[in-house]
Amino acid sequence: MAEAVTPFKVQIPDSELELLRKKLELARLPDYEGCEWGEEAEGGVTSGLMRETVDHWRTKYDWRAAEARMNEMPQYKTSIPIDGFDAVNVHFVHAKPADPAAAAGPPTPLLFLHGWPGSFIEVQEMLPRLLAAGFHVVAPSLAGFGFSGYPRQAGFQLTHQAEMMNRLMARLGYGSYLVQGGDWGSLLGRIMAVRYPKHVKALHLNMIFSSGPNGQKWPPADEELTPREQRCVDRAKFFQTKNSAYQALQATKPRTVGYAFHDSPLGMLAWMADKVLIWSDPKAKAWTPDELITWTLLHYFPGPTTGMVTYRENDFAWVLELLSSEEPGCKVPLGLSQFPEEMVFSPRRVLEADYKNLAWMREHDAGGHFAASEKPEELATDMIDFFGSYRK
């Protein structure tokens, strides 16, 4: 029974929804009316956006409708053992073509890895394209996110997440597979390619860290940039100087932040909306109140703390040091979709110097950090195009 894979549907108890309704009814918002600093976007979510979204939440939002939409995807749970840790009860989407004979390509397993503050639902808009192309799509909730469990022991890092994901794919009968990732999923995918090259046939990312050839700081002060490069560099600097404080807070005090948001749906909304809206490209997508609320609740209902603990257990310096020591010899083909409003950026020439396994790259004119939600058609097309050579 330990290896059982059981069907799962998202079904939040009525008692939780009633408690949420009461919290929204009793919630109070600060009054910033007439204050210039209350509507200045760099200082956080504006009071106008919060008032409008909370009013929509109280009067129009329907969680059961959002839940039904999620449950259109076939979902499962299974317990995966992790060396040195509790077994993790992993939640995942596992979708296959309804008519394999009509698919445009051979049956190929594809592991889709989300990040923070995303979740498994990021795959949903891409599923029709990917299934039509013949992919068997596995989209798990990372350990500590959504409806997946999390070990009681400290020290659970991306290397253990990678072990968990590889064992999940083996549990499903996939000895080899393709991987796609963004945010934490991009770092996790890179670790999987390094640690499990016999299983990962190719890796596609929509975010990648690169300091420059041989680890040199990029861009050097004397290098002339193209207009696109300058815009992307300015965007990355804006993130580093104005929008990265959350990293330090979640990496040092995840429990403190977790207490605040575990009991406050409005606090969770403000924290989520601040990231989702600023990290996105408004030219690519206008986020609706329903979407912002649903993303919020996928952290609020299960509890947000363990997702934030990921930052504490995986210091970026440690992750990048691990990759710099293990990745240079990686032979797994790498594909990259680059969106101009992503928060990290390096030009093609720098990436080619850093990643000898970079086999494919496509630059897009619009899109930001949440490519699967902002540009699902384009990201799905990129995966189909890049993975085409590695599907047999």
Look at residue 378 and give its three-state secondary structure: helix
Which DSSP string corresponds to 186-241? HHHHHHHHHH-TTTEEEEEES-----SGGG--SS-TT----HHHHHHHHHHHHHHH
8-state DSSP, 341: B
Of the pLDDT bands very low, low, confident and very high (cuts 50, 70, 90), residue 346 is: confident
Cβ 113 vs Cβ 165: under 8 Å: yes
Of the pLDDT bands very low, low, confident and very high (cuts 50, 70, 90), residue 2 is: low
Mean pLDDT of 356-370: 96
% the chain with pLDDT above 90: 76
87/153 Cα distance (integer angstroms): 11
- The count of domains in the chain is 1
Mean pLDDT of 165-179: 98
Classify residue 241: in a domain, yes or no: yes
Classify residue 183: in a domain, yes or no: yes
> What CATH number does residue 248 fall under?
3.40.50.1820
339/58 Cα distance (integer angstroms): 35
Mean pLDDT of 215-232: 74
- What pTM value is reported for the model? 0.95
Classify residue 237: in a domain, yes or no: yes
44/213 Cα distance (integer angstroms): 35
Q: What is the span of the domain harbouring residue 214?
A: 66-89+107-131+174-390
Single-letter amino acid, residue 363: E
Classify residue 289: in a domain, yes or no: yes
Q: Which residues are catalytic?
A: 183, 311, 369
8-state DSSP, 141: P
Of the pLDDT bands very low, low, confident and very high (cuts 50, 70, 90), residue 220 is: low
Classify residue 162: in a domain, yes or no: no
Classify residue 50: in a domain, yes or no: no
Classify residue 56: in a domain, yes or no: no
Q: For residue 114, is pLDDT > 70?
A: yes
Of the pLDDT bands very low, low, confident and very high (cuts 50, 70, 90), residue 230 is: confident
Classify residue 248: in a domain, yes or no: yes
